[in-house]
Chain A
Amino acid sequence: MAEVHVIGQILGATGFSESSLFCKWGVHTGAAWKLLSGVREGQTQVDTPQVGDMAYWSHPIDLHFATKGLQGWPRLHLQVWSQDSFGRCQLAGYGFCHVPSSPGTHQLDCPTWRPLGSWREQLARAFVGGGPQLLHGDAIYSGADRYRLHTAAGGTVHLELGLLLRHFDRYGVEC
C-alpha cells in the first residue's frame, strides 16, 4: 500500500473584515484511504493580531494516510469564524482545498466564501451579527447541491503543507 504524509501548518488568514479569528478544519478522503496516525479534524486558537492585519494560527497538521487507490485524494475543508469581545462566534467563511499531490513543500492560499441570505438577513447581520450557516458541512467540499447557494467572498486562508509520498513509484504512479 502506498503511504502519504501531510506535514505542515495552517498559517493564518488575511482579508477578513473581522479581527479575532479562528478556524475549524477537517480532512475528508475517499473510501480507499485510511488514516493511520494523526487527528482528522481540529480547531485553531483565536488570534487577535497586534502587528498588521493577518491573523496567525500556526496550527500544526501531521497526517499519515495509507491508500489503495488515487480516487478521493484528501481534501482539507475549513471554516473561519470570528469571536467578538463577548465570546459570541460568527461565521466568516467556508473554504476547501485539495492536499497537494506532488511531494515537497507547498504554499497554499485557500479562498473562502460565506452564504448570503435574504436582504433582511444581511441587514440583521450588519447590525446584530449572526447570519446563515450551512446545515451540512459537506457542501463545503462537494459540488453536489451548490447551485442552491448564493454566496459572497470572504478572506483567504494561508497554509503551508509538505507532502511526503512512499512507494508511489512501485505502483507506477507519477507525481
Chain B
Amino acid sequence: MAAAGPSVFLLMVNGQVESAQFPEYDDLYCKYCFVYGQDWAPTAGLEEGISQITSKSQDVRQALVWNFPIDVTFKSTNPYGWPQIVLSVYGPDVFGNDVVRGYGAVHVPFSPGRHKRTIPMFVPESTSKLQKFTSWFMGRRPEYTDPKVVAQGEGREVTRVRSQGFVTLLFNVVTKDMRKLGYDTGPPDTQGVLGPSPPPGLPR
C-alpha cells in the first residue's frame, strides 16, 4: 500500500484591506478578525489587526485608504467552516465619541489566485425613533458585543440593519494539498484583479 497521503490541507491568504467608501463619514479606522469552523486552526500570521485612522482625501475622489496588510495561514481537515474575514469600521461622531460605522464579512476566496472583493458595511439599527435619538445624543450606538456574530447566519432574523458604505479588499490565495485530498476548487482565477463582476449597485 502506498504511503499515507496528507490528511491536512493548508490555506495561505495574504492581501490588504485596501480602501473604503462611506459618503457620510470621515476619520475612520477598521479592525479585522477571522472567523472559522472547528476543524480549522491558524498556523502562521496574524488573526486580527487594527488599522490606522484615515481621512478623506482633499481631491475629487474623496477616497478613504488604509492599505492595511493581511497575512495568515490556516490548516484544516474539512472545508466546512471556511474562514471568513470580519471587518468593523469605527469613526468619531459629532460629539467626539468612537462609534461603529459598519460591520461586514466575506469568505476568503478558495480558488488560488488574486481576488478583489468589495463588501457592503452595515450597522444595527434601533427600531424606535426615540431610541435612535437618545443613542445619537449619548454617543452609544447599537453595536454587536462580539463582531464575530456578523459571520454567522443564525440569530440574524431579529436584527434590523442599515447598510451605509463599502470596503474593498484584495486577496491572494494559495492552497496546498487540496487536490491530493480529492478536492476540486475550480479554475484558478486567471482574470487577476478583475474577478467576477460585482452585482449592480456596487461601486466599481
Residues of A within 8 A of B (CB): 5, 7-9, 11-12, 14, 20, 22, 36-39, 42-56, 58-62, 64, 83, 87, 102-107, 109, 158, 160, 162-170
Contact = CB atoms under 8 A, between A and B. Distances in A.
B140 interface: no
Interface string B159-198: 1111111100000000000000111111100000001111
23 contacts: A7-B107, A11-B199, A12-B120, A12-B163, A14-B199, A14-B201, A39-B153, A39-B154, A47-B161, A48-B160, A50-B162, A56-B163, A58-B105, A83-B160, A87-B127, A103-B184, A104-B185, A105-B111, A105-B195, A162-B111, A164-B79, A167-B182, A168-B184
A128 B187 CA distance: 51
Contact of A9 (B106, B183, B197): B106
Interface of B: 23-24, 37, 78-82, 84, 104-107, 109-111, 119-120, 122, 125, 127, 150-154, 156-157, 159-166, 181-187, 195-202
Contacts of A46: 159-161
A161 to B, nearest CB: 10
Contacts of A102: 186
Contact of B163 (A5, A43, A47, A162): A47
Contacts of B181: 166
Contacts of A105: 109-111, 186, 195-196
Given A12-B199, A14-B199, A55-B163, A47 B122 contact: yes
Contacts of B152: 60
Interface centre among B109, B110, B201 (most CB of A within 10 A): B201
A50 B156 contact: no
Contacts of B78: 37, 64
Name the prevailing secondary structure of the B interface residues: loop
Nearest to B21: A51
A56 B80 contact: no
Given A58-B104, A104-B187, A168-B184, A14 B120 contact: no
A54 B82 contact: no
Given A50-B164, A54-B202, A22 B157 contact: yes
B80 A38 contact: yes
A8 B199 CA distance: 14
A164 B122 contact: no
Contact of B162 (A22, A43, A49, A158): A49
A102 to B, nearest CB: 7
Given A105-B196, A166-B182, A60 B160 contact: no
A170 B80 CA distance: 21
A50 B161 CA distance: 10
B163 A51 contact: yes
Contact of A59 (B153, B162, B165): B153
A169 B151 CA distance: 32
A14 B163 CA distance: 14
Given A48-B125, A58-B119, A60-B152, A5 B80 contact: yes
A58 B186 contact: no
Contacts of B164: 50-51
A95 to B, nearest CB: 15
Interface centre among B23, B107, B109, B127 (most CB of A within 10 A): B107
A60 B157 contact: no
